[in-house]
Amino acid sequence: MRIGVHLTGREARAVLADGSRVHACGAAMGGRALGTVLRELAGQATYSVRSVTLEVSDLLVDAVCRTGAGSAGAPVSVLRVLPRTSRHTASADHPSAMMRSFVAHRAAVSGGHDLFGTALAPLDVSGAVAAALEAHRSGLRAMAVVATGAVGAPGHESAVARAVLDAVPELRLSLSHEVGGVGLLLRESAAVLNAVMLSAAGDLVDRCRRAVRRLGDVSCWFATADGGRISAERLRALPVLGLDAAAAMNLLGAAALHGRGTGTVVVDDGRSCTIGELRDGLPHVAADLHSALGVRLAAPRPVVDVVGTEEFRADPARWLRGAPHEVPVIATEGRPDLGALGAALCEPTAWVDLVVQAESADELCRQRRAVEERALRMVVTSEAPPGSERIVESGATALAYMRAGTYRVRARATTGARA
């Protein structure tokens, strides 16, 4: 059996699920709400609870908003690793006002790779260490490291991390290649937001793990925006992956209540309708979309439309995706909590997004298989039955604005049986 929890600053709403069936629901308010609801549902389990998965995107957004509104100064340093550093302040800074508001210190050193892994300049390790020491002397405790070409060749970011942590071990680092994405600015946005949330995410993970540990030998997971779940330690390092998980979990929960694994899903909370699509048991997602904070991020997020409830009800055909004959799932918020149910049912996922060079169809197939294997390796966990990992989405798109034979290759993997 599994427990899924939708955790906010005021309340914990939870579902105990036996397979895809809701066995019990619970809710609690206040500072000890999580522990209370976990004990209540565990006491109703007919056999052992294997895992608890928490949807905490509201708390992560609150952490970012509190930082922006209430902090005495911007909390983050940014280090760019580039083949050439800009001489103009305007181009050296980030175009987003929100991102700029979080950055108190910015530096750039030489280094980086092209999209195919070729080093464009020698890495200036000593310059990176000097920038980190300067940031630390300014009172900053987190740094985002963003190198060109790091998704395909993360070596320079990793080398910077090793050198910086040797010199300033208390500095928290957010490396852009760990959040994925091809675009430098999109990765920088994700890395900066990740750095902003690191402290709050660490406290949140500790709090949740303490509550889950009281149930005994039960694993603790966190829901992600692509409809999957990650370990507590991974959320501690990459809280940006938990942003926008609410929409994905609501879609999963609504579809599960109606026994659907594919099709259009509408979640109506009484004020607005969130309209998305499930494919093979997972929400349809895309990279480079705007997050709940209004900033475009490289990590995948659900492809949804949000429209007022009255507007949707007045003309539903205008907003529904899919074939005209398809009957959509329309679910209203209530009991069980849809986000908690989605969290209880979700599985580990992985997304790989790379630019590759392929001079022939055979070479492109080889590159796609390599990307798929990388995604499959990322979802293998001790809880997953051997051989249960599978690819749910894979594709290659020719990039017309680059030299011939250049493709953007993406693969998405999960575990478990097909929906």
**What mean pLDDT is reported for the chain?**
88
* CB neighbour list of residue 321: distance below 8 Å, 6 or more residues apart: 264, 275, 277
Q: Is the pLDDT of residue 73 over 60?
A: no
Is residue 360 classed as helix, strand or coil in its secondary structure? coil
pLDDT of residue 295: 83
Domain-embedded: residue 147: yes
| CB-CB neighbours of 150 under 10 Å | 26
> Could you give the CA distance from residue 312 to residue 248 in angstroms, rounded to a whole number?
20
Task: Report how many domains make up the chain.
Answer: 2
Residue 105 sits in a domain of what CATH number?
3.40.50
> Could you give the CA distance from residue 4 to residue 337 in angstroms, rounded to a whole number?
9
Query: Minimal CA–CA distance to 133: which of 166, 176, 92?
Result: 166
| Eight-state DSSP code of residue 231 | E
Give the mean pLDDT of 285-311.
Answer: 86
Confidence of residue 332 (pLDDT cuts 50, 70, 90): confident
> Could you give the CA distance from residue 281 to residue 266 in angstroms, rounded to a whole number?
15
pLDDT in tens, 165-197: 999 999 999 999 988 677 788 889 889 999 999
pLDDT of residue 240: 92
Residue ranges in 214-348 assigned as alpha helix (H): 232-237, 245-257, 309-314, 338-345
Residue ranges in 141-244 assigned as alpha helix (H): 155-167, 184-213, 232-237
Is residue 381 classed as helix, strand or coil in its secondary structure? coil
Residue 282 has which token pair?
């997972």
Provide the strand spans (E) within 349-388.
349-357
More confident residue, 182 or 211: 211
> Could you give the CA distance from residue 76 to residue 196 in angstroms, rounded to a whole number?
7
Kindly give the pairing relationship between strand 406-415 and strand 389-398.
antiparallel
pLDDT of residue 92: 61
% helix, strand, coil for the chain, step of 5: 35, 30, 35
Single out the residue in 160, 178, 196 at which a domain terminates.
196
Domain-embedded: residue 300: no
pLDDT of residue 69: 46
Q: Is the pLDDT of residue 54 over 60?
A: yes
pLDDT in tens, 349-386: 988 888 888 889 999 999 999 999 999 988 887 567 77
Domain-embedded: residue 283: no
281 within 8 A of 261, measured Cβ to Cβ: yes
Cα–Cα distances in Å, from 239 out to 131, 134, 182, 262? 24, 26, 19, 28
Q: Is the pLDDT of residue 242 over 90?
A: yes
Domain-embedded: residue 403: yes
Is residue 157 classed as helix, strand or coil in its secondary structure? helix
Domain-embedded: residue 207: no
Give the mean pLDDT of 1-19.
Answer: 94
Domain-embedded: residue 238: no
Encoded amino acid at 175, one letter: L
**363-392 per-residue burial string, b: 16 or more CB within 10 A, e: under 16:** ebeebbeebbeebbebbebeeeeeebbbbb
Confidence of residue 89 (pLDDT cuts 50, 70, 90): very low
Kindly give the pairing relationship between strand 296-297 and strand 289-290.
antiparallel
Single out the residue in 164, 196, 228 at which a domain terminates.
196
pLDDT of residue 114: 87
| Eight-state DSSP code of residue 56 | -
Domain-embedded: residue 9: no
pLDDT of residue 70: 42
Residue 121 has which token pair?
């300049």
Q: Is the pLDDT of residue 324 over 70?
A: no
Q: Is the pLDDT of residue 60 over 90?
A: yes
Query: Minimal CA–CA distance to 40: which of 14, 1, 10?
Result: 14
Q: Is the pLDDT of residue 120 over 70?
A: yes
| Eight-state DSSP code of residue 385 | P
Is residue 333 classed as helix, strand or coil in its secondary structure? coil
Burial of 213 (0-12, 13-18, 19+ CB in 10 A): exposed
Query: Minimal CA–CA distance to 111: which of 168, 176, 173?
Result: 176
pLDDT of residue 203: 93
| Eight-state DSSP code of residue 176 | G
* CB neighbour list of residue 125: distance below 8 Å, 6 or more residues apart: 159, 160, 163
Domain-embedded: residue 118: yes
Give the mean pLDDT of 53-58.
Answer: 96
Q: Is the pLDDT of residue 72 over 50?
A: no
Single out the residue in 196, 224, 243 at which a domain terminates.
196
More confident residue, 19 or 277: 277
Confidence of residue 90 (pLDDT cuts 50, 70, 90): very low
Strand-pairing partners, residue 274, are: 267, 306
pLDDT of residue 348: 92
Domain that holds residue 397: 349-415
The C-alpha angle with vertex 66 and arms to 63 and 72, in degrees rounded to 5, equals 125
Q: Is the pLDDT of residue 198 over 50?
A: yes
What backbone torsions phi and psi does residue 310 show, to the nearest 5 degrees? -65, -40
| Eight-state DSSP code of residue 113 | B
Question: Of the spans 67-71, 114-118, 263-267, 337-341, which averages the highest pLDDT?
Answer: 337-341
pLDDT of residue 87: 53
Q: Is the pLDDT of residue 94 over 90?
A: no
What backbone torsions phi and psi does residue 208 show, to the nearest 5 degrees? -70, -40
